[in-house]
Amino acid sequence: MSLMYRSMIGALCALTLACSKTPELSKVEGFAQGTTYHLTFVLPADSTATLTSIEQAVNDEFARMDKALSNYRDDSNIEQFNAQKTTDVLAVDAELVTLVEEARKVHRASNGCYDLTIKPLFDLWGFKKDVFSPPSDTELAQTMAVIGLDNLETLDATHLRKEIPNLRIDISSIGQGYSVGQIVKVLEQFGVQDYLVEIGGELQTKGKKPDGESWRIALEKPLPNERKMHKIVSFDSGAPMSLMASGTYRHYFDSNGKRYSHILDARSGKPIEHNTVSVAVLHPNPTIADAWSTALLCLGSSEGLKAANDNNLAALFIDQQGEQLIESQSKAMDDMKDVSFKQP
């Protein structure tokens, strides 16, 4: 999901929550991982925890994850792994291996469309510097030769091996969801059982508000020139549920009358060309939901609906035909009882 898209959902989340704020709700907010976060929760009546202690624990966990998994600091554990241009077996944190293996499942289930190693392609097309630069066939082939999650071998819980020495891992397509899950664990360590945890628009909820009302958030209408609510999502049952949404309509290039999305298909090395502009995935595990929201957006509604149904995923696809938005959803979304989508 693009940062701007996440930020917009986050802002709408904050607006929705503000409208229903009660004195019994506790809030911790801040800036982390290049975006904002908002935690809204109910402290148990018998809790001795303070908001200050919770905020400190949250910040400590963000700092720990940043040092371990940030692709934006050279001294992080993941970037130290990336910097080692070798095919030798490398010792890594078990946390990284876990994420690689979760991503590998999605990689295979999406027929290779989703891939943690495609950052060089992202840079090649100019998205890193926001300067569109379509590569030549030769440049594309050279870059395709140094990517591919199948070129990363997992030996055990703490060891990886690159089959291509300069292979690099970028977890931005799965890391935000993982972060949501980690912050949820922090709150639950304080006995919190009713919460909405949101980081850059990616979120997980559990339980209800103090007045018994369901947690609700707003999804943005997926059109580049509009900032309007498209759906109100209500987490009706209170069961643990995460919502991850990915979109193409905020980060793209227009060139010679054609639009190029920042979502790249690892199979071709090129920007996707289908009409799917947004995918929202509901899943109890935010890490899995995050990876699949990107993978399904990569596949598009036609191929993605089959993948969602094959993997029992609750997914909502939105395609754009001119100015018209066309929705389609998976069977698991049709059958979803815990969450409802309503018009604003």
Q: Looking at residue 258, what is its pLDDT?
A: 60
Closest to 334 measured CA to CA, from 319, 312, 318: 312
pLDDT, tens digit (0-9, with 9 covering 90-100), for 229-266 = 788 999 999 999 999 999 875 655 655 556 667 889 99
183 within 8 A of 39, measured Cβ to Cβ: yes
Buried b (16+ CB within 10 A) or exposed e, 315-330: bbbbbbeeeeeeebbb
Query: In angstroms, what CA-CA distances link 101 with 38, 155, 157, 162?
Result: 29, 11, 10, 14
Buried b (16+ CB within 10 A) or exposed e, 265-287: bbeebbbbebbbbbbbbbbebbb
Tell which CATH classification among 1.10.3980.10, 3.30.1280.10, 3.90.45.10, 3.30.70.3040 matches the domain 69-172: 1.10.3980.10
Terminal-residue alpha carbon distance, the chain: 22
Using DSSP, state whether 249 is helix, strand or coil. coil
Q: CA triplet 30, 32, 208: central angle to 5 degrees?
A: 55
103 within 8 A of 291, measured Cβ to Cβ: yes
pLDDT, tens digit (0-9, with 9 covering 90-100), for 6-39 = 444 444 454 444 444 444 799 999 999 999 999 9
Q: Cα Rg for the chain, rounded, in angstroms?
A: 20
Q: Looking at residue 20, what is its pLDDT?
A: 42
Average pLDDT by consecutive 10-residue portion of the chain (344 residues)?
Answer: 42 46 78 95 92 97 97 94 97 97 98 96 82 89 96 98 96 96 98 97 96 93 72 96 85 60 90 91 98 96 97 96 90 97 86
Strand partners, 37: 30, 199
> What does 266-333 look like in DSSP terms, one character per residue?
TTTTEE--SSEEEEEEEES-HHHHHHHHHHHHHHHHHHHHHHHHHTT-EEEEEEEETTEEEEEE-HHH
Q: How many CA atoms lie within 13 A of 259 on its CB side?
A: 14
Domain ranges of the chain: 3-67+174-342, 69-172
Task: Dig out the tokens for 69 from the structure.
Answer: 């998994």
Q: Looking at residue 6, what is its pLDDT?
A: 46
Instruction: Specify the fold of 3-67+174-342.
Output: T-fold (3.10.520)
Does the CA dihedral 100-101-106-112 come out positive or negative? Answer: positive
Residue length of the chain:
344
Q: Looking at residue 127, what is its pLDDT?
A: 80
> What does 13-64 look like in DSSP terms, one character per residue?
HHHHHHHT--TT-EEEEEEETTEEEEEEEE--TT----HHHHHHHHHHHHHH
Give the whole-angstrom CA distance, residue 164 versus residue 214. Answer: 49
Task: Dig out the tokens for 221 from the structure.
Answer: 């209408």
| Model confidence, pTM | 0.90
> What does 228-247 look like in DSSP terms, one character per residue?
-EEEEEEE-S---EEEEEEE
Q: Looking at residue 268, what is its pLDDT?
A: 95
Give the whole-angstrom CA distance, residue 284 versus residue 243. Answer: 9
